[in-house]
Amino acid sequence: MNATLPAAKDAPAFAQVHAALLRHSEIQFAFPHFVEPAVPDWFTQFLRFLGDHRVPIKWALWGLLGLGAVAVAVILVRQYWPKLAGLWRRQRAEEPAPAPNLLWRPSAAHARQLLRESDALAAEGRYSEAVHLILLRSIEDIAERRPRAVRPTLTSREIGGLPALPEDARAAFAPIVRVVERARFRGETIGQGEFEACRRQYESFAFAGAWQAPR
């Protein structure tokens, strides 16, 4: 639609209104041409630096993120760990005491049978064989209780020094090993007194709780 021009008689009034509008300085009628500002050189170089080193920068950011996570974890542990540890100790204190350890030792019938056999050999004056029999049966007892610890290549002395053996059992086993070694490797004669001493050692080994599980 074409704009309707003002009538000739209205031209003076329009001119007055237009002149009054132009006198308003707060109204801008002329708009200068916008010139886009140039990008600073330092910013261009910064962007170029980021592009050239994007891989190490990425890993550095991941490292900072990891350090931040560790720092948060440390703060949380320092704040809450004493409370959690105290609660855990209280719970442990309230737990019932564990039942006494079972005795791991030969049955009384098995041990008495061995002593009868060794006594029979000793009655014939075969003290060395009697002590050797006690040693062999003691090793069988150890192998039964610690099957993974006793290997065929171990000597009697090495078996007697196994860390898996309870201390009392080692103390009872060692004298028997020494007597057998003297008889078999040095050719020494074993008398009744040494047999009786070894017999008592086996009794302590078998009957006195030497096989109580280590504490």
Could you read off the pLDDT of 129-183 as tens digits, one per residue?
988 898 888 888 777 777 777 777 777 777 777 777 777 777 778 888 888 888 8
What's this model's pTM, rounded to 2 decimal places?
A: 0.47
Rounded-to-integer distance, Cα 63 and Cα 58, Å: 9
Q: Residue for token digits 């990008």?
A: 39
Rounded-to-integer distance, Cα 44 and Cα 51, Å: 11
Where do the DSSP E strands lie in the chain?
Answer: none
Rounded-to-integer distance, Cα 12 and Cα 4, Å: 16
Q: pLDDT, tens digit, for every residue of 66-116?
A: 888 988 888 887 777 777 666 666 665 554 544 333 344 667 788 888 889
List of residues 6+ apart from 167 with CB closer than 8 A: 214
- 215 versus 160: the higher-pLDDT residue is 160
Q: Which of 166, 150, 169 is nearest to 158 (CA)?
A: 150
Q: Residue for token digits 């004493």?
A: 82
Rounded-to-integer distance, Cα 128 and Cα 210, Å: 24
Q: Confirm if 130 and 176 have CB atoms less than 8 A apart.
A: no
Rounded-to-integer distance, Cα 92 and Cα 143, Å: 35
Q: Confirm if 115 and 196 have CB atoms less than 8 A apart.
A: no
